[in-house]
Structure 1
Amino acid sequence: MLERIADFMSHPDLIFGAEQIDNPEERFLVILRYYLSGWHIKPKGVKKPYNPVLGEFFRCRYDYPNGTQGVYIAEQVSHHPPISAYFYFSPENQVRIIGEIRPKSKFLGNSVSTNMEGENRIMLMGKPDDGEYVITMPNMYARGILFGKMVFELGDTCVAKNEKTGLACDLEFKIKGFFSGTYNAIVGRVRHYGADVGEVSGRWSHEIEFKDKTGKKHTLFDVDSEAGKRVAAKIVSPEDEQEPNESRRQWRELTKAIVAKDMDAATDAKCAVEDAQREDRRRRDENGEEFVPRFFEKRDGGWVPKFQIPADPREAAAAVQEWIWPSS
């Protein structure tokens, strides 16, 4: 799950330079396009991501064609209730994203639904007067878990808004009906201080269009376009060089067993991680200790990174690297 969140950082070129756009409505559409571009990247078939354990973290780096870099860190900061906090930062491109996800799952017969509480807070640091662009998440549904074809869908409504500019969009992710409709449909209306600006429509897995109030249309994002195929690769340290509670190393025995289709070994590997978690909790309880996240802290009701961003981009780039990958 912690690594899955990083897929939303896969098309950074869609947002780089947005602070140079003078029109706030056009800037808002750039943010919206960036957010919607991450949903098409998902595992083939329906594969439930591993539930992160307390203190687990995932970190990676991105090297971009323009010679700049981005970094990403996510940590499981709470187990009951489950909360994943994350931070993305590209100093030279002046983009910062802070977010948290609080999933709540329940079984619905042949389906599982997951309410994705939480929000993404995107900031164009080159346009500080905009403040934060805040975007909530749609809910997720896995259908056919007991019988029939397994299908992953997004459903219900999420909201993208910027209070400083007065722009907002209610995005409805539509679930396919039994006898009609289509998979992965999305519709939404963009408003500026309540007045209609235009309409978003399409399929988040294929192509999304924007139609302005005059009726003029243009493509907001197309998965099959050059931009859609240009996915930023995650650069991750080899598992043997990772810390024990980094995601890929934490779960590597389970991953190996699943790839080998050895369900007995998979069960043993999963139990080993869970048993270690219970032992850690027992030890903390005996010593009267509370779990303290390594990278994030709770402030004003939300989870934020334990990192102060320096004003100079070059200094910030070095500082964030040292914070996420300390040299000593």
Structure 2
Amino acid sequence: MSEEEISNDTEVLDDEPRSILLGLISQLRKGMDLHRVTLPTFVLEPRSMLERITDFMSHPELILRQEDPVIRFVSVVRYYLSGWHIKPKGVKKPYNPVLGEHFRARWQFRDKTEAYFVSEQVSHHPPISAYYYASPENNLIISGDIRPKSKFLGNSAATLMQGESKIYFTNRPGEVYRIAMPNVYARGILFGRMVMELGDNSTVRCEKNDLICELEFRTKGFFTGSYNSIYGKIKRESTGEILYEITGKWIDIMYIKDVK
């Protein structure tokens, strides 16, 4: 792990916040749902989940005006991967929104077209955040929901990112891109350096064009591997033919290689 990655993705707590956190953890049981637990503010970022979702709307220009269906699919994958690096320094969790809370945003692009976003907390227990993004002039709609489920795992905590994001091009009827998220892990909460990792599998799928991207967000092992690694394949779902290979680090640089 480079010095820059260590400074951005890890956090060493002082004695007082570490003591507060250990006192809280002593009341937890392994596998316990953390959404009913009140967390100290030093582990929270100054945004709610409703605003955090906009990180994935940062680069819509990557998916606009692509005519070839395969290139368009690759562009959707690039767009999806482009938002993960946006995060606060250290190991932070967004605030849980209250029921009925909403967040609105508007973007103006270089060509003077615009996009609009609204998100709302539609359920508190279990927590569900729904969102809708639209750029009518660019024939683009992104909608979905996030249903995070947090669990205490001992020296780590996991947020299982259930829910789905869907991308529609209104000028291409029936073409829907369905995206499933990876899970988020906070390591080292009892001892060692606190580290945030993305882990497990994620998919991007377009049934109409018979394309799927299978992504693996790789967590670091005790003795092998590295932090923030990603590996994936874009392929024809019906035949399994591999078209592109994805490697690199989701926090830094990723490569999409044509292997046809």
TM more than 0.5: yes
Amino acid corresponding to residue 250 of structure 2 in structure 1: W
Match of 1:105 among 121, 144, 150: 150
Q: Which residue is equivalent to 1:48?
A: 93
Deviation at 1:132, TM superposition (A): 0.7
Q: Which residue is equivalent to 1:93?
A: 138
Distance 1:136 1:178 in 2: 27
Q: Which residue is equivalent to 1:299?
A: none
Deviation at 1:110, TM superposition (A): 1.8
Structure 1 residue ranges, 4+ long, deviating more than 6 angstroms after superposition: none
Q: Which residue is equivalent to 1:301?
A: none
Q: For structure 2, which runs of at least 5 residues remain unmatched after alignment? A: 1-48
Deviation at 1:145, TM superposition (A): 2.2
Deviation at 1:96, TM superposition (A): 0.4
Match of 1:159 among 183, 194, 203: 203
Deviation at 1:197, TM superposition (A): 1.2
Structure 1 segment 175-186 matched on structure 2, within 5 A: 175-186=219-230
Amino acid corresponding to residue 255 of structure 2 in structure 1: E
Deviation at 1:198, TM superposition (A): 2.1
Q: Which residue is equivalent to 2:257?
A: 211
- The CA RMSD over aligned residues, in Å, is 1.2
Q: Does 1:4 align with 2:67?
A: no
Q: For structure 1, which runs of at least 5 residues remain unmatched after alignment? A: 215-328
Q: Which residue is equivalent to 1:135?
A: 179
Q: Which residue is equivalent to 1:30?
A: 75
Distance 2:102 2:136 in 1: 22
Deviation at 1:157, TM superposition (A): 0.3
Deviation at 1:147, TM superposition (A): 3.0
Structure 1 segment 208-287 matched on structure 2, within 5 A: 208-214=254-260
Q: Which residue is equivalent to 1:190?
A: 234
Match of 1:169 among 203, 213, 236: 213
Distance 2:233 2:118 in 1: 32
> Secondary structure of the residue that 1:54 maps to in structure 2?
coil
Deviation at 1:127, TM superposition (A): 2.2
Give the number of the structure whose residues are more often strand, by fraction.
2
Distance 1:153 1:8 in 2: 17
TM-score, normalised by the number of residues in structure 2: 0.78
Deviation at 1:2, TM superposition (A): 0.8
Amino acid corresponding to residue 249 of structure 2 in structure 1: R
TM-score, normalised by the number of residues in structure 1: 0.62
Distance 2:134 2:243 in 1: 30
Q: Which residue is equivalent to 1:309?
A: none
Deviation at 1:128, TM superposition (A): 2.3
Highest relative contact order (Cα 8 Å, sep 6+), 1 or 2? Answer: 1
Q: Deviations over 1:220-263 (max 9, x none)?
A: xxxxxxxxxxxxxxxxxxxxxxxxxxxxxxxxxxxxxxxxxxxx
Amino acid corresponding to residue 74 of structure 1 in structure 2: S
% identical aligned pairs: 58
Distance 2:139 2:191 in 1: 47
Distance 2:235 2:243 in 1: 5
